[in-house]
Chains A and B, each alone.
Chain A
Amino acid sequence: MIISENKSLGEGQKQRVLKRIRERNFTCVSCGSRDFEIGAALEVGFLFLTEQPGTYMVALTCKKPDCASPRTGIKLHKSEFLHES
Protein backbone atom coordinates (compact mmCIF):
# COMPACT_ATOMS: atom_id res chain seq x y z
CA MET A 1 0.00 0.00 0.00
CA ILE A 2 1.38 3.39 -0.97
CA ILE A 3 0.13 6.59 0.56
CA SER A 4 0.53 9.26 -2.07
CA GLU A 5 1.32 11.81 0.63
CA ASN A 6 4.37 9.81 1.76
CA LYS A 7 7.51 10.34 -0.26
CA SER A 8 9.89 7.43 -0.56
CA LEU A 9 13.54 8.37 -0.13
CA GLY A 10 16.60 7.58 -2.18
CA GLU A 11 19.83 6.15 -0.73
CA GLY A 12 21.58 9.54 -0.46
CA GLN A 13 18.59 11.05 1.28
CA LYS A 14 18.46 8.15 3.75
CA GLN A 15 22.16 8.58 4.51
CA ARG A 16 21.59 12.24 5.31
CA VAL A 17 18.67 11.34 7.62
CA LEU A 18 21.00 8.90 9.46
CA LYS A 19 23.55 11.68 9.79
CA ARG A 20 20.94 13.99 11.33
CA ILE A 21 19.89 11.24 13.74
CA ARG A 22 23.46 10.99 14.97
CA GLU A 23 23.91 14.76 15.16
CA ARG A 24 20.79 15.14 17.25
CA ASN A 25 21.47 12.16 19.46
CA PHE A 26 18.03 10.89 18.49
CA THR A 27 17.13 7.66 20.29
CA CYS A 28 14.18 5.29 20.28
CA VAL A 29 11.72 6.48 22.95
CA SER A 30 10.80 2.90 23.72
CA CYS A 31 14.20 1.17 24.04
CA GLY A 32 16.87 3.83 23.65
CA SER A 33 18.39 2.30 20.52
CA ARG A 34 20.03 4.50 17.85
CA ASP A 35 19.72 1.98 15.07
CA PHE A 36 16.90 2.77 12.65
CA GLU A 37 15.54 1.68 9.33
CA ILE A 38 14.64 4.85 7.35
CA GLY A 39 11.16 4.87 5.85
CA ALA A 40 9.15 7.42 3.89
CA ALA A 41 8.91 11.17 4.49
CA LEU A 42 5.62 12.97 5.05
CA GLU A 43 5.37 16.69 4.31
CA VAL A 44 3.81 18.09 7.48
CA GLY A 45 4.59 21.78 6.98
CA PHE A 46 1.60 22.36 4.73
CA LEU A 47 -1.00 20.16 6.44
CA PHE A 48 -0.50 20.86 10.12
CA LEU A 49 -1.19 24.11 11.89
CA THR A 50 1.97 24.50 14.01
CA GLU A 51 4.50 23.13 11.51
CA GLN A 52 6.82 25.43 9.60
CA PRO A 53 6.66 25.21 5.80
CA GLY A 54 9.14 22.70 4.39
CA THR A 55 9.04 20.44 7.45
CA TYR A 56 8.89 16.66 7.02
CA MET A 57 8.21 13.76 9.36
CA VAL A 58 10.55 10.95 8.37
CA ALA A 59 9.37 7.47 9.35
CA LEU A 60 11.94 5.53 11.41
CA THR A 61 11.68 1.92 12.50
CA CYS A 62 13.75 0.82 15.46
CA LYS A 63 15.88 -2.16 14.50
CA LYS A 64 16.10 -3.69 17.97
CA PRO A 65 14.15 -6.96 17.65
CA ASP A 66 12.44 -6.83 21.05
CA CYS A 67 11.52 -3.13 20.88
CA ALA A 68 8.02 -2.64 22.26
CA SER A 69 7.19 0.29 20.01
CA PRO A 70 9.48 0.24 17.00
CA ARG A 71 7.69 2.77 14.79
CA THR A 72 8.80 6.33 15.40
CA GLY A 73 9.82 9.37 13.38
CA ILE A 74 12.08 12.41 13.22
CA LYS A 75 11.08 15.87 12.06
CA LEU A 76 13.51 17.47 9.62
CA HIS A 77 13.48 20.48 7.36
CA LYS A 78 13.70 19.59 3.69
CA SER A 79 17.04 21.42 3.39
CA GLU A 80 18.50 18.94 5.90
CA PHE A 81 17.95 15.79 3.86
CA LEU A 82 15.71 16.05 0.83
CA HIS A 83 18.02 17.43 -1.88
CA GLU A 84 19.09 14.94 -4.57
CA SER A 85 22.66 13.59 -4.84
Chain B
Amino acid sequence: MEFGYPWWLRIEHLVNLIFLTFLIRSGMEILATHPKLYWNDNSKPGSEWARFTRKVMPKDKLYDTLDEEESYSSIISMPGHSELGMGRHWHFISVIGWILAGIIYVVLLFATGQYHRYVPYSWEVFPEAWKNIITYLSFELPATLPGQPFNAIQQLSYGAVIFILAPFQIATGAAQSPAIEARFPWYVKLWGGRQWARSLHFFGLLAFIGFIIIHLLMVIVHGFGQETSKIIFGNQEHPGYATGIALGAILALVVLHIAATKYTLAYPRNTRRILGAVVEGTRKLILHPLKSRQDYSESEISSEHRVNGKPPDTDWYKIMAAHNFADYKLEVGGLVERPMTFTLEDLRTFPTRQTQRVMHNCVQGWTSIGEWTGIPLRQIVELVKPLPEARHICFLTMQDTGRDDPSADGEGQFYETIDLDYAYHPQCILAYDMNGGPLPIKHGAPLRLRLETQVGFKMAKWIERIEFVADFRDIGGGLGGWREDNVYYDRDVGI
Protein backbone atom coordinates (compact mmCIF):
# COMPACT_ATOMS: atom_id res chain seq x y z
CA MET B 1 0.00 0.00 0.00
CA GLU B 2 1.45 3.32 -1.12
CA PHE B 3 0.27 6.16 1.14
CA GLY B 4 0.71 9.24 -0.97
CA TYR B 5 -1.22 12.45 -1.30
CA PRO B 6 -3.42 11.73 -4.35
CA TRP B 7 -4.92 14.71 -6.20
CA TRP B 8 -8.44 14.14 -4.84
CA LEU B 9 -7.17 14.12 -1.29
CA ARG B 10 -5.42 17.44 -1.85
CA ILE B 11 -8.56 19.01 -3.38
CA GLU B 12 -10.69 17.64 -0.54
CA HIS B 13 -8.32 19.22 1.97
CA LEU B 14 -8.83 22.64 0.38
CA VAL B 15 -12.62 22.29 0.03
CA ASN B 16 -12.87 21.09 3.61
CA LEU B 17 -10.88 24.08 4.82
CA ILE B 18 -13.24 26.50 3.08
CA PHE B 19 -16.46 24.91 4.36
CA LEU B 20 -15.12 24.31 7.85
CA THR B 21 -14.07 27.92 8.38
CA PHE B 22 -17.50 29.12 7.19
CA LEU B 23 -19.20 26.58 9.46
CA ILE B 24 -17.23 27.79 12.47
CA ARG B 25 -17.92 31.48 11.92
CA SER B 26 -21.60 31.04 11.08
CA GLY B 27 -21.90 28.69 14.06
CA MET B 28 -20.64 31.50 16.28
CA GLU B 29 -23.37 33.74 14.85
CA ILE B 30 -26.01 31.17 15.79
CA LEU B 31 -24.53 30.90 19.28
CA ALA B 32 -24.58 34.71 19.65
CA THR B 33 -28.35 34.83 19.24
CA HIS B 34 -28.81 32.88 22.48
CA PRO B 35 -25.39 32.94 24.10
CA LYS B 36 -26.24 30.44 26.83
CA LEU B 37 -25.82 26.67 27.04
CA TYR B 38 -27.86 24.25 29.10
CA TRP B 39 -27.99 20.63 30.20
CA ASN B 40 -31.81 20.78 30.42
CA ASP B 41 -34.49 21.15 27.74
CA ASN B 42 -36.40 23.81 29.70
CA SER B 43 -33.63 26.38 29.08
CA LYS B 44 -34.81 27.90 32.33
CA PRO B 45 -33.29 31.34 32.93
CA GLY B 46 -30.38 30.97 35.32
CA SER B 47 -29.94 27.24 34.68
CA GLU B 48 -27.33 27.70 31.95
CA TRP B 49 -23.95 26.04 32.52
CA ALA B 50 -22.19 28.51 30.24
CA ARG B 51 -22.98 32.06 29.18
CA PHE B 52 -21.21 34.25 26.66
CA THR B 53 -22.93 37.49 27.53
CA ARG B 54 -22.91 40.05 30.34
CA LYS B 55 -26.48 41.24 29.78
CA VAL B 56 -28.71 41.26 32.88
CA MET B 57 -32.46 40.93 32.36
CA PRO B 58 -35.05 43.00 34.27
CA LYS B 59 -37.13 41.45 37.04
CA ASP B 60 -40.15 43.77 36.97
CA LYS B 61 -40.77 43.63 33.23
CA LEU B 62 -41.44 40.89 30.74
CA TYR B 63 -38.30 40.32 28.69
CA ASP B 64 -37.93 37.95 25.80
CA THR B 65 -35.04 36.07 24.31
CA LEU B 66 -34.59 38.79 21.66
CA ASP B 67 -33.48 41.03 24.52
CA GLU B 68 -30.85 38.46 25.49
CA GLU B 69 -29.35 38.29 21.99
CA GLU B 70 -25.70 39.33 21.60
CA SER B 71 -24.04 41.12 18.72
CA TYR B 72 -20.64 39.59 18.01
CA SER B 73 -17.94 41.04 15.80
CA SER B 74 -17.61 39.85 12.19
CA ILE B 75 -14.10 38.71 13.06
CA ILE B 76 -15.44 35.76 15.00
CA SER B 77 -18.93 35.34 13.60
CA MET B 78 -20.41 35.19 10.12
CA PRO B 79 -21.66 37.75 9.26
CA GLY B 80 -21.63 39.29 12.77
CA HIS B 81 -23.79 42.10 14.19
CA SER B 82 -26.57 39.70 15.38
CA GLU B 83 -27.66 38.68 11.90
CA LEU B 84 -29.01 35.26 12.83
CA GLY B 85 -30.86 34.80 9.54
CA MET B 86 -27.69 35.31 7.54
CA GLY B 87 -25.68 33.15 9.91
CA ARG B 88 -28.18 30.34 9.42
CA HIS B 89 -28.03 30.58 5.62
CA TRP B 90 -24.23 30.37 5.70
CA HIS B 91 -24.23 27.56 8.23
CA PHE B 92 -26.68 25.45 6.24
CA ILE B 93 -25.17 26.08 2.81
CA SER B 94 -21.76 25.22 4.27
CA VAL B 95 -23.01 22.09 5.97
CA ILE B 96 -24.60 20.87 2.73
CA GLY B 97 -21.32 21.41 0.86
CA TRP B 98 -19.27 19.98 3.70
CA ILE B 99 -21.34 16.80 3.98
CA LEU B 100 -21.24 16.25 0.20
CA ALA B 101 -17.48 16.77 0.14
CA GLY B 102 -17.19 14.50 3.18
CA ILE B 103 -19.16 11.69 1.53
CA ILE B 104 -17.00 11.87 -1.62
CA TYR B 105 -13.88 11.91 0.54
CA VAL B 106 -14.83 8.90 2.64
CA VAL B 107 -15.93 6.93 -0.43
CA LEU B 108 -12.58 7.65 -2.11
CA LEU B 109 -10.68 6.81 1.08
CA PHE B 110 -12.23 3.35 1.12
CA ALA B 111 -12.19 2.84 -2.67
CA THR B 112 -8.45 3.54 -2.83
CA GLY B 113 -7.48 1.93 0.46
CA GLN B 114 -6.09 5.22 1.72
CA TYR B 115 -8.26 4.91 4.84
CA HIS B 116 -5.70 2.52 6.35
CA ARG B 117 -3.53 5.50 7.24
CA TYR B 118 -6.16 6.72 9.73
CA VAL B 119 -6.91 3.39 11.37
CA PRO B 120 -4.83 2.03 14.25
CA TYR B 121 -4.32 -1.73 13.83
CA SER B 122 -2.64 -2.35 17.15
CA TRP B 123 -3.26 -1.30 20.74
CA GLU B 124 0.39 -0.34 20.74
CA VAL B 125 -0.55 2.81 18.84
CA PHE B 126 -2.11 4.35 21.97
CA PRO B 127 0.95 4.23 24.30
CA GLU B 128 3.03 5.16 21.27
CA ALA B 129 0.82 8.25 20.73
CA TRP B 130 1.38 9.25 24.35
CA LYS B 131 5.15 8.93 23.83
CA ASN B 132 4.77 11.12 20.72
CA ILE B 133 3.14 13.85 22.79
CA ILE B 134 6.04 13.74 25.27
CA THR B 135 8.48 13.91 22.35
CA TYR B 136 6.73 16.98 20.92
CA LEU B 137 6.72 18.61 24.35
CA SER B 138 10.47 18.15 24.53
CA PHE B 139 10.73 19.99 21.18
CA GLU B 140 11.64 16.94 19.13
CA LEU B 141 9.89 15.22 16.24
CA PRO B 142 8.59 11.69 16.77
CA ALA B 143 9.23 8.99 14.15
CA THR B 144 6.42 7.84 11.87
CA LEU B 145 4.84 4.42 12.33
CA PRO B 146 6.50 1.70 10.26
CA GLY B 147 5.23 1.81 6.65
CA GLN B 148 2.94 4.76 7.47
CA PRO B 149 2.97 8.44 6.52
CA PHE B 150 2.08 9.49 10.08
CA ASN B 151 3.29 8.99 13.60
CA ALA B 152 0.91 7.44 16.14
CA ILE B 153 -0.59 10.67 17.50
CA GLN B 154 -1.12 12.00 13.96
CA GLN B 155 -2.85 8.79 12.93
CA LEU B 156 -5.13 8.89 15.97
CA SER B 157 -5.98 12.61 15.69
CA TYR B 158 -6.68 12.57 11.96
CA GLY B 159 -8.67 9.36 12.30
CA ALA B 160 -10.67 10.80 15.21
CA VAL B 161 -11.44 14.05 13.37
CA ILE B 162 -12.57 12.27 10.19
CA PHE B 163 -14.41 9.27 11.60
CA ILE B 164 -15.61 10.55 15.00
CA LEU B 165 -15.67 14.34 15.28
CA ALA B 166 -17.16 15.11 11.84
CA PRO B 167 -20.02 12.56 12.14
CA PHE B 168 -20.54 13.70 15.74
CA GLN B 169 -21.06 17.30 14.61
CA ILE B 170 -23.49 16.21 11.88
CA ALA B 171 -25.41 14.01 14.32
CA THR B 172 -25.64 16.61 17.10
CA GLY B 173 -26.56 19.24 14.49
CA ALA B 174 -29.38 17.07 13.19
CA ALA B 175 -30.60 16.53 16.75
CA GLN B 176 -31.30 20.28 16.89
CA SER B 177 -33.74 20.23 13.97
CA PRO B 178 -37.33 20.60 15.19
CA ALA B 179 -38.55 18.48 12.27
CA ILE B 180 -36.22 15.61 13.18
CA GLU B 181 -36.97 16.01 16.90
CA ALA B 182 -40.70 16.02 16.24
CA ARG B 183 -40.61 12.94 14.02
CA PHE B 184 -38.00 10.98 16.01
CA PRO B 185 -38.21 12.11 19.65
CA TRP B 186 -36.12 9.06 20.67
CA TYR B 187 -33.22 10.37 18.62
CA VAL B 188 -33.03 13.59 20.63
CA LYS B 189 -33.28 11.64 23.89
CA LEU B 190 -30.38 9.51 22.67
CA TRP B 191 -28.19 12.59 23.06
CA GLY B 192 -29.58 13.37 26.49
CA GLY B 193 -32.00 15.95 25.09
CA ARG B 194 -32.04 18.88 22.70
CA GLN B 195 -29.90 21.12 24.90
CA TRP B 196 -27.39 18.35 25.47
CA ALA B 197 -27.11 18.09 21.68
CA ARG B 198 -26.58 21.87 21.47
CA SER B 199 -23.96 21.83 24.23
CA LEU B 200 -22.19 18.82 22.67
CA HIS B 201 -22.28 20.56 19.28
CA PHE B 202 -20.51 23.46 20.97
CA PHE B 203 -17.81 21.10 22.30
CA GLY B 204 -17.46 19.78 18.76
CA LEU B 205 -16.88 23.36 17.63
CA LEU B 206 -14.16 23.78 20.29
CA ALA B 207 -12.61 20.47 19.21
CA PHE B 208 -12.46 21.62 15.59
CA ILE B 209 -10.94 24.96 16.55
CA GLY B 210 -8.42 23.16 18.79
CA PHE B 211 -7.59 20.71 16.02
CA ILE B 212 -7.03 23.48 13.46
CA ILE B 213 -4.71 25.41 15.78
CA ILE B 214 -2.61 22.35 16.71
CA HIS B 215 -2.62 21.13 13.10
CA LEU B 216 -1.27 24.48 11.87
CA LEU B 217 1.28 24.54 14.67
CA MET B 218 2.43 21.01 13.79
CA VAL B 219 2.74 21.90 10.11
CA ILE B 220 5.11 24.68 11.16
CA VAL B 221 7.00 22.45 13.60
CA HIS B 222 7.47 19.72 10.98
CA GLY B 223 8.55 22.25 8.37
CA PHE B 224 6.03 24.53 6.72
CA GLY B 225 7.50 24.27 3.21
CA GLN B 226 7.87 20.48 3.27
CA GLU B 227 4.42 19.80 4.75
CA THR B 228 2.53 22.23 2.50
CA SER B 229 4.41 20.80 -0.48
CA LYS B 230 2.87 17.40 0.33
CA ILE B 231 -0.68 18.78 0.41
CA ILE B 232 -0.19 21.01 -2.65
CA PHE B 233 2.08 18.97 -4.95
CA GLY B 234 1.61 15.51 -3.47
CA ASN B 235 5.30 15.26 -2.53
CA GLN B 236 7.78 17.21 -0.45
CA GLU B 237 9.99 18.26 -3.34
CA HIS B 238 8.87 21.91 -3.73
CA PRO B 239 8.97 23.57 -0.29
CA GLY B 240 9.72 27.00 -1.73
CA TYR B 241 6.80 27.15 -4.17
CA ALA B 242 4.57 25.43 -1.62
CA THR B 243 5.29 28.04 1.04
CA GLY B 244 4.33 30.82 -1.35
CA ILE B 245 1.20 29.05 -2.59
CA ALA B 246 0.10 28.07 0.92
CA LEU B 247 0.49 31.60 2.27
CA GLY B 248 -1.32 32.89 -0.81
CA ALA B 249 -4.12 30.37 -0.25
CA ILE B 250 -4.52 31.41 3.37
CA LEU B 251 -4.66 35.04 2.27
CA ALA B 252 -7.21 34.16 -0.43
CA LEU B 253 -9.32 32.36 2.18
CA VAL B 254 -9.26 35.43 4.41
CA VAL B 255 -10.21 37.63 1.45
CA LEU B 256 -13.04 35.22 0.56
CA HIS B 257 -14.39 35.45 4.13
CA ILE B 258 -14.17 39.24 4.16
CA ALA B 259 -15.86 39.54 0.75
CA ALA B 260 -18.64 37.10 1.68
CA THR B 261 -19.20 38.89 4.99
CA LYS B 262 -19.31 42.35 3.43
CA TYR B 263 -21.63 41.21 0.64
CA THR B 264 -23.92 39.48 3.16
CA LEU B 265 -24.20 42.56 5.35
CA ALA B 266 -24.72 44.87 2.37
CA TYR B 267 -27.15 42.67 0.40
CA PRO B 268 -28.97 40.39 2.85
CA ARG B 269 -31.96 39.92 0.56
CA ASN B 270 -29.77 38.76 -2.33
CA THR B 271 -27.72 36.54 -0.04
CA ARG B 272 -30.91 34.95 1.23
CA ARG B 273 -32.10 34.35 -2.32
CA ILE B 274 -28.81 32.92 -3.61
CA LEU B 275 -28.03 30.64 -0.64
CA GLY B 276 -31.71 29.87 -0.14
CA ALA B 277 -31.96 28.41 -3.63
CA VAL B 278 -29.94 25.44 -2.37
CA VAL B 279 -30.79 25.45 1.32
CA GLU B 280 -34.56 25.88 1.00
CA GLY B 281 -34.81 23.15 -1.64
CA THR B 282 -32.83 20.71 0.50
CA ARG B 283 -35.00 21.43 3.51
CA LYS B 284 -38.20 20.99 1.50
CA LEU B 285 -36.94 17.63 0.31
CA ILE B 286 -35.65 16.23 3.59
CA LEU B 287 -37.42 18.01 6.47
CA HIS B 288 -40.77 19.21 5.10
CA PRO B 289 -42.34 15.72 4.84
CA LEU B 290 -41.52 14.83 8.48
CA LYS B 291 -44.59 14.78 10.72
CA SER B 292 -44.59 15.40 14.45
CA ARG B 293 -45.15 12.39 16.71
CA GLN B 294 -44.30 13.91 20.05
CA ASP B 295 -45.83 12.97 23.33
CA TYR B 296 -43.76 14.14 26.25
CA SER B 297 -44.83 13.11 29.71
CA GLU B 298 -46.54 15.50 32.09
CA SER B 299 -43.49 15.50 34.35
CA GLU B 300 -41.33 16.79 31.50
CA ILE B 301 -43.31 20.03 31.06
CA SER B 302 -41.17 23.11 31.70
CA SER B 303 -42.24 25.06 34.77
CA GLU B 304 -41.22 28.26 33.02
CA HIS B 305 -41.71 28.17 29.25
CA ARG B 306 -39.52 30.80 27.62
CA VAL B 307 -40.88 33.43 25.22
CA ASN B 308 -39.75 35.31 22.18
CA GLY B 309 -41.84 38.32 21.14
CA LYS B 310 -43.90 40.73 23.23
CA PRO B 311 -47.69 41.11 23.40
CA PRO B 312 -49.68 43.82 21.58
CA ASP B 313 -49.24 46.99 23.60
CA THR B 314 -52.61 48.61 22.88
CA ASP B 315 -55.48 49.49 25.19
CA TRP B 316 -58.06 47.63 23.13
CA TYR B 317 -56.04 44.42 23.44
CA LYS B 318 -55.65 44.91 27.19
CA ILE B 319 -59.36 45.64 27.59
CA MET B 320 -60.22 42.55 25.53
CA ALA B 321 -57.87 40.47 27.69
CA ALA B 322 -59.36 41.85 30.92
CA HIS B 323 -62.75 40.68 29.62
CA ASN B 324 -61.42 37.16 28.94
CA PHE B 325 -61.39 37.89 25.19
CA ALA B 326 -65.18 37.97 24.98
CA ASP B 327 -64.92 40.49 22.11
CA TYR B 328 -62.30 38.47 20.26
CA LYS B 329 -63.08 37.45 16.70
CA LEU B 330 -61.01 35.29 14.40
CA GLU B 331 -61.61 36.07 10.75
CA VAL B 332 -60.84 33.39 8.19
CA GLY B 333 -60.93 34.43 4.56
CA GLY B 334 -59.00 34.96 1.38
CA LEU B 335 -59.20 32.30 -1.32
CA VAL B 336 -61.95 30.25 0.30
CA GLU B 337 -65.47 29.21 -0.63
CA ARG B 338 -66.88 30.18 2.75
CA PRO B 339 -65.23 33.02 4.70
CA MET B 340 -66.01 32.61 8.40
CA THR B 341 -65.69 34.41 11.70
CA PHE B 342 -65.19 32.61 15.01
CA THR B 343 -65.41 33.83 18.57
CA LEU B 344 -63.10 32.30 21.14
CA GLU B 345 -66.15 30.49 22.53
CA ASP B 346 -66.84 29.02 19.07
CA LEU B 347 -63.31 27.66 18.94
CA ARG B 348 -63.40 26.38 22.51
CA THR B 349 -66.68 24.55 22.05
CA PHE B 350 -65.69 23.02 18.74
CA PRO B 351 -66.29 19.25 18.83
CA THR B 352 -62.65 18.38 18.08
CA ARG B 353 -60.12 19.29 20.73
CA GLN B 354 -56.53 18.20 20.54
CA THR B 355 -53.88 18.24 23.24
CA GLN B 356 -50.19 17.71 22.64
CA ARG B 357 -47.13 17.76 24.88
CA VAL B 358 -44.25 18.88 22.73
CA MET B 359 -40.88 20.53 22.61
CA HIS B 360 -40.80 24.13 21.45
CA ASN B 361 -37.69 25.02 19.43
CA CYS B 362 -36.86 28.67 19.15
CA VAL B 363 -34.88 29.69 16.07
CA GLN B 364 -32.37 31.06 18.57
CA GLY B 365 -31.60 27.61 19.95
CA TRP B 366 -33.40 27.48 23.28
CA THR B 367 -36.18 25.00 23.99
CA SER B 368 -39.01 24.49 26.44
CA ILE B 369 -41.58 21.73 26.79
CA GLY B 370 -45.25 22.58 26.98
CA GLU B 371 -48.73 21.16 26.67
CA TRP B 372 -50.99 22.84 24.13
CA THR B 373 -54.70 22.36 23.50
CA GLY B 374 -56.65 23.68 20.57
CA ILE B 375 -58.49 23.00 17.38
CA PRO B 376 -56.69 21.15 14.58
CA LEU B 377 -56.04 23.61 11.76
CA ARG B 378 -57.31 21.11 9.19
CA GLN B 379 -60.78 21.42 10.77
CA ILE B 380 -60.84 25.14 9.96
CA VAL B 381 -59.53 24.40 6.46
CA GLU B 382 -62.30 21.87 5.89
CA LEU B 383 -64.94 24.35 7.09
CA VAL B 384 -63.91 27.31 4.94
CA LYS B 385 -62.98 25.17 1.90
CA PRO B 386 -59.96 26.75 0.20
CA LEU B 387 -60.26 27.40 -3.54
CA PRO B 388 -58.03 25.27 -5.78
CA GLU B 389 -55.58 28.13 -6.30
CA ALA B 390 -54.92 28.56 -2.54
CA ARG B 391 -51.39 27.37 -1.79
CA HIS B 392 -50.41 29.01 1.49
CA ILE B 393 -51.97 30.09 4.77
CA CYS B 394 -51.20 33.52 6.12
CA PHE B 395 -51.57 34.27 9.85
CA LEU B 396 -52.02 37.96 10.63
CA THR B 397 -51.50 38.97 14.23
CA MET B 398 -52.35 41.81 16.59
CA GLN B 399 -48.65 42.42 17.21
CA ASP B 400 -47.02 45.49 15.71
CA THR B 401 -43.38 44.68 16.03
CA GLY B 402 -42.05 48.23 15.92
CA ARG B 403 -44.45 49.27 18.67
CA ASP B 404 -44.33 46.14 20.84
CA ASP B 405 -40.84 44.75 20.55
CA PRO B 406 -37.98 47.23 20.02
CA SER B 407 -35.44 44.37 20.27
CA ALA B 408 -36.86 43.01 17.01
CA ASP B 409 -35.14 44.54 14.04
CA GLY B 410 -38.03 45.99 12.02
CA GLU B 411 -41.53 47.37 12.12
CA GLY B 412 -45.08 46.62 11.13
CA GLN B 413 -47.75 43.98 11.67
CA PHE B 414 -46.35 40.57 12.45
CA TYR B 415 -47.47 37.83 10.08
CA GLU B 416 -46.22 34.48 8.92
CA THR B 417 -47.19 32.15 6.09
CA ILE B 418 -47.01 28.37 5.88
CA ASP B 419 -47.62 25.94 3.04
CA LEU B 420 -51.23 24.73 2.93
CA ASP B 421 -50.25 21.06 3.38
CA TYR B 422 -48.90 21.83 6.86
CA ALA B 423 -52.50 22.29 8.00
CA TYR B 424 -52.93 18.54 7.55
CA HIS B 425 -49.94 17.68 9.73
CA PRO B 426 -51.09 15.70 12.77
CA GLN B 427 -49.86 18.17 15.42
CA CYS B 428 -50.80 21.41 13.66
CA ILE B 429 -53.32 23.19 15.87
CA LEU B 430 -54.64 26.62 16.75
CA ALA B 431 -54.01 26.59 20.49
CA TYR B 432 -56.16 28.39 23.06
CA ASP B 433 -54.95 26.52 26.15
CA MET B 434 -51.51 25.90 27.55
CA ASN B 435 -50.42 23.58 30.37
CA GLY B 436 -54.03 23.00 31.41
CA GLY B 437 -55.05 26.68 31.65
CA PRO B 438 -56.01 29.36 29.17
CA LEU B 439 -53.21 30.43 26.83
CA PRO B 440 -51.24 33.15 28.68
CA ILE B 441 -50.90 36.58 27.09
CA LYS B 442 -47.14 36.28 26.70
CA HIS B 443 -47.61 33.01 24.82
CA GLY B 444 -50.07 34.49 22.33
CA ALA B 445 -53.53 34.72 23.93
CA PRO B 446 -56.16 34.16 22.85
CA LEU B 447 -54.96 32.10 19.89
CA ARG B 448 -51.65 30.93 18.45
CA LEU B 449 -50.43 28.45 15.93
CA ARG B 450 -48.64 25.25 16.92
CA LEU B 451 -46.76 23.57 14.08
CA GLU B 452 -44.35 21.29 15.85
CA THR B 453 -41.93 20.53 13.03
CA GLN B 454 -40.98 24.19 12.63
CA VAL B 455 -39.04 26.64 14.76
CA GLY B 456 -40.97 28.99 17.00
CA PHE B 457 -41.26 32.16 14.94
CA LYS B 458 -43.52 30.43 12.37
CA MET B 459 -46.06 29.72 15.13
CA ALA B 460 -47.76 33.11 15.02
CA LYS B 461 -49.17 34.37 18.33
CA TRP B 462 -52.04 36.80 19.00
CA ILE B 463 -53.65 35.73 15.71
CA GLU B 464 -56.55 37.90 14.50
CA ARG B 465 -56.95 36.83 10.89
CA ILE B 466 -56.17 33.80 8.77
CA GLU B 467 -56.00 34.24 5.04
CA PHE B 468 -55.65 31.64 2.30
CA VAL B 469 -53.44 32.92 -0.51
CA ALA B 470 -52.06 31.73 -3.83
CA ASP B 471 -48.79 33.57 -3.45
CA PHE B 472 -47.10 35.30 -0.55
CA ARG B 473 -45.02 37.57 -2.77
CA ASP B 474 -47.52 40.43 -2.56
CA ILE B 475 -47.86 40.28 1.24
CA GLY B 476 -45.61 42.55 3.34
CA GLY B 477 -42.06 42.46 2.01
CA GLY B 478 -42.92 39.43 -0.10
CA LEU B 479 -40.67 36.82 1.49
CA GLY B 480 -43.39 34.87 3.29
CA GLY B 481 -43.35 36.31 6.79
CA TRP B 482 -42.38 39.22 8.99
CA ARG B 483 -39.11 37.63 10.07
CA GLU B 484 -38.33 36.63 6.50
CA ASP B 485 -38.93 40.21 5.32
CA ASN B 486 -37.14 42.00 8.14
CA VAL B 487 -34.37 39.74 9.39
CA TYR B 488 -34.14 37.49 6.32
CA TYR B 489 -34.92 34.20 8.02
CA ASP B 490 -35.63 31.21 5.86
CA ARG B 491 -39.31 30.40 5.33
CA ASP B 492 -39.64 26.63 5.74
CA VAL B 493 -37.80 26.17 8.98
CA GLY B 494 -37.56 22.47 9.82
CA ILE B 495 -34.11 23.32 11.17
Contacts and interface: CB of A to CB of B under 8 A. Distances in A.
- On whether the two chains bind one another, the answer is yes
Interface of A: 1-6, 39-42, 44-51, 53, 57-59, 61, 71-73, 75
B442 interface: yes
Interface string B429-440: 000000001101
Contacts of A2: 324, 438
A57 B324 contact: no
B365 interface: no
Closest 9 pairs between A and B when the two form their complex, measured CB to CB: A59-B322, A73-B319, A42-B322, A57-B318, A57-B322, A48-B313, A53-B60, A71-B323, A3-B438
Contact of B322 (A1, A40, A45): A40
Contacts of A61: 323
B420 interface: no
Given A4-B440, A48-B313, A59 B60 contact: no
A5 B440 contact: yes
B321 A46 contact: no
B404 A5 contact: no
B370 to A, nearest CB: 15
A1 B324 contact: yes
B319 A71 contact: yes
Contacts of B320: 71
Interface of B: 60-62, 310-311, 313, 315, 318-327, 348, 403-406, 437-438, 440-442, 445
A44 B441 CA distance: 10
Contact of A5 (B61, B321, B323): B321
Contacts of A48: 62, 310-311, 313, 318
A59 to B, nearest CB: 4
B319 A49 contact: no
A46 B61 contact: yes
A75 B321 CA distance: 13
A1 B438 contact: yes
Contact of A42 (B321, B348, B405): B321
A40 B319 CA distance: 10
A30 to B, nearest CB: 12
26 contacts: A1-B324, A2-B324, A3-B324, A4-B440, A5-B440, A5-B445, A6-B324, A39-B323, A40-B324, A41-B322, A42-B321, A42-B322, A44-B318, A46-B62, A47-B442, A49-B406, A50-B313, A57-B315, A57-B319, A57-B322, A61-B323, A71-B323, A72-B319, A73-B318, A73-B319, A75-B318
B348 A1 contact: yes
A78 B331 CA distance: 35
Nearest to B321: A42
Given A39-B322, A53-B61, A57-B321, A4 B313 contact: no
Given A47-B62, A53-B61, A4 B322 contact: no
Q: Taking each of A3, A41, A53, which has the highest tally of chain B beta carbons within 10 Å of its own beta carbon?
A: A3
B313 A73 contact: no
Contacts of A42: 318, 321-322
A1 to B, nearest CB: 6
A53 B405 CA distance: 17
Contacts of A40: 322, 324
Given A48-B62, A71-B323, 13 more contacts: A2-B324, A3-B445, A4-B437, A4-B438, A5-B321, A40-B324, A44-B318, A47-B62, A48-B313, A53-B61, A58-B322, A71-B320, A73-B315
A3 B321 contact: yes
Contacts of A47: 62, 311, 441-442
A49 B313 contact: yes
A46 to B, nearest CB: 6
